[in-house]
Amino acid sequence: AQKITQTQPGMFVQEKEAVTLDCTYDTSDPSYGLFWYKQPSSGEMIFLIYQGSYDQQNATEGRYSLNFQKARKSANLVISASQLGDSAMYFCAMRDVNQGGKLIFGQGTELSVKP
Amino acid sequence: NAGVTQTPKFRVLKTGQSMTLLCAQDMNHEYMYWYRQDPGMGLRLIHYSVGEGTTAKGEVPDGYNVSRLKKQNFLLGLESAAPSQTSVYFCASNLGSTMNTEAFFGQGTRLTVV
């Protein structure tokens, strides 16, 4: 069965510094897609970045980048130059194309950015 | 651009009461999902639908029923609410089920069962 694991329940980072949020995954499918979502205190789910299993390069979207290490089955989110507005819950997720395309989520990491 | 809209946003129920959560999307998406979010557990799939008139069970379906009579709407029903169903409920939709398909989420419904 597919599984996503986020082992950092909470993290602190100083404003303007970079931070890495860990995500490991388990799947036997050769094709898979990995997503990161941000959930601010207001509650909505905001899509941040996507990485496909066959993508040759690590995904980047502005200050967000994904450190994809296929052999280690990890897909860590890197946020550069942290801002106070980055304080939120972050979820790593994998799409299960065999079950209606559902997303399988990790437990989440709560990031707090200190001024 | 409404996207995915959930109704209501907040609700308090007494144990044993019933209610229906409505999810509406205006993007002509085939796939729709209901998740629940509990502290420390991420989002877990309750039920999903791959098209009008179809539904399927997810990871935690007990105590819930769903219907997809119209393509744009996906209803989640609680027939007899229990305190264990206190949670934040999210609806999501996507156009397809391929691995790179982006999911669009509603704003969530915070349900408290007392």
What are the tens digits of pLDDT across the range A31-87?
899 999 999 999 999 999 999 999 989 999 999 999 999 999 999 999 999 999 999
Quote the tokens at residue B88. Answer: 């934040």
Measured between CA atoms, the residue of chain A closest to residue B46 is A102
Per-residue confidence (pLDDT) for residue B1, from 0 to 100: 62
Per-residue confidence (pLDDT) for residue B39, from 0 to 100: 87
Q: How many helices (H) and strands (E) does chain A have?
A: 0, 12
The rounded mean pLDDT for chain A is 95
Per-residue confidence (pLDDT) for residue A47, from 0 to 100: 94
Phi, psi of A76 (to 5 degrees): -80, 140
Put simply, the answer to whether A100 touches B105 (Cβ < 8 Å) is no
Distance from CA of A70 to the nearest CA of B (A): 16
What is the DSSP secondary-structure string of B61-97? -TTEEEE-SSTTEEEEEESS--GGG-EEEEEEEES--
Identity of the residue numbered B16: G
Who's near A65: CB < 8 A, 6+ residues apart? A49, A58, A59, A77, A78, A80
Is A106 touching B (CB cutoff 8 A)?
A: yes
Q: How many helices (H) and strands (E) does chain B have?
A: 0, 11
pLDDT beneath 70, residues of chain B: 1
Place of tokens 């897909």: A75
Put simply, the answer to whether B92 touches A106 (Cβ < 8 Å) is no
**Is the predicted pLDDT of residue A21 greater than 80, yes or no?**
yes
pLDDT digits (tens, 9 = 90+) for B59-78: 999 999 999 999 999 999 99
Is A27 touching B (CB cutoff 8 A)?
A: no
Give the single-character DSSP code of A84.
G
Distance from CA of A43 to the nearest CA of B (A): 7
Per-residue confidence (pLDDT) for residue B105, from 0 to 100: 96
Measured between CA atoms, the residue of chain A closest to residue B95 is A101
Phi, psi of A15 (to 5 degrees): -55, 140
Residue B101 to residue A112: CA distance in whole angstroms: 29
